[in-house]
Amino acid sequence: MNLNDSILKDKKHIHFIGIGGSGMYPLAQILHSEGYHLTGSDNNPTDTLEKIKALGIKVTMGQSAENIKGADLIVHTAAIMNDNPELIAARESGVPVLERSELLGILSEHFSNCICVSGTHGKTTTSAMLTQIMVDADTSPTAVIGGKLKSIGGSGIVGKSENMVCEACEFVDTFLKLSPDIALVLNIDEDHMDYFKNMDNLIASFRKFCSNASKKVIINGDDENSLKAVKGLNKEIITIGFSTSNDYYPENITKHAGVHTTFTLMHKGKALSDIDLFVPGIHNVLNATAACACAIESGVDAKLLNKGMSNFKGADRRFEVLYRDENVTVVDDYAHHPAEIKVTLEAAKSMNFKRVIAVHQPFTYSRTASLLDDFAEVLQIADVVVLSEIMGSREKNTIGIYSKDLAAKIPGCEWRTTLQEVADYVLSIVQKGDIIITLGCGDVNKCANMIIDKLK
């Protein structure tokens, strides 16, 4: 990788503000491997931070102006607020300052086979599946994914080849900063409407993303919005999906005991490989088909696909089994959009538990308000629904929406203000044979851990 034709030319000391973020870790890994002197700061001790320190990178706890001293490039996460003293000092220093996604975009230019995995749903799981396939096929990929993959010890890995797997998020058009060689679109669904305003704008952004692909575009041929995004686009278009009219599709889908599913990966009528899948849900058959298609289109032999797929046991917070005893199973999932909650709860319902108890933390006021009826409909797939208060994240509650408004639309639904109150209520009603599944992209996983602590 030659970084001398970018802003990184002649840079020696790069400082990361918020270095412990899961999205910063793989970037730090890449630049560290390229010989740059790195320093960083963060406010919260995490496992990721310990891994960064283990690389020999100096990390300061707490953020202040003096932390940037000596740096000739400064990188910060999107979560760092404009009034952060370290970011203010960085911007006043005259030294170039990049937001994390801008640095990722620069790095993505320097691989001849950068596979960018996009879509409203499934991109972390599919990126992780593809990384597992390519690692186990000895293609030595570099990867930057949105969740932790246990087999690589985190959210990224530095390889020695020209292959890069890169999760591509559409939020505020971040993915338009990337330079994909292969662009994958899993689906396009209504989300982030506080930014995009309408579906036409969202589809137009995905079209721009696909037009940036230098080699080919792989899309879900069963998804109407994905097809709209590439209609008339002067690119090689490859389709994946359940329909046999797609280029790549699964056949002979068979569900076995537990979370084991098998299927045959097909390409234009020809069987390529039998695949063993150890994560639940029909949606993951589609994610696996997409990951396999990306691998094959990147030169991986079809005979090597199942080595990685059979080793894949899920990314963190994607139907992650946190606890299981003879009475109760506790699972955590990142699902925060109605379509994601639907497939996750359907997967749980297919697994022969006595009851599915869904614990949902709504995320952002705008999403909760705009999709209120959709959330109410899909949460009713569960036998019992418990809500925490809405996590506003970057928003203020100017709408005047609360979890009680969602609870009122779900028969028998309970809601509590704090995660501890939610955990206490769930523990008071749980029965032998139940599965408790926490759902949301905020910190609802803390509730799962509170429940597990009591169960133990």
Distance CA 427, CA 417 (A): 16
**Per-position DSSP letters for 339-366, written without gaps between them:** HHHHHHHHHHHTT--S-EEEEE--B-HH
Contact assessment for residue 202 and residue 223, using Cβ atoms and an 8 Å cutoff: no
Contact assessment for residue 332 and residue 449, using Cβ atoms and an 8 Å cutoff: no
In this structure, what DSSP letter does residue 153 have?
T
End-to-end Cα separation, the chain, in angstroms? 49
**Per-position DSSP letters for 213-258, written without gaps between them:** -SSEEEEETT-HHHHHHHTT-SSEEEEESSSTTSSEEEEEEEE-ST
Instruction: Tell me the HSE value of 228 on the side-chain side, using a 13 A CA sphere.
Output: 14
Contact assessment for residue 27 and residue 55, using Cβ atoms and an 8 Å cutoff: no
Planar angle of CA 450, 451, 456, nearest 5 degrees: 100
Instruction: Tell me the HSE value of 437 on the side-chain side, using a 13 A CA sphere.
Output: 31
Contact assessment for residue 213 and residue 181, using Cβ atoms and an 8 Å cutoff: yes
For residue 271, give the amino acid letter. Answer: A
For residue 339, give the amino acid letter. Answer: A
Contact assessment for residue 301 and residue 133, using Cβ atoms and an 8 Å cutoff: no
Q: Which residues contact 352 (CB under 8 A, 6 or more apart)?
A: none
Q: Which residues are catalytic?
A: 123-124, 167
SS (H, E, C) 378-409: HHCCCCEEEECCCECCCCCCCCCCCHHHHHCC
Express the helix, strand and coil content of the chain in percent, nearest 5 each: 35, 25, 40
Q: Which residues contact 327 (CB under 8 A, 6 or more apart)?
A: 432, 433, 434
Q: If we measure between CA atoms, which residue out of 364, 345, 442, 439 comes closest to residue 403?
A: 364
**Per-position DSSP letters for 258-294, written without gaps between them:** TT-EEEEEEETTEEEEEEEE-S-SHHHHHHHHHHHHH
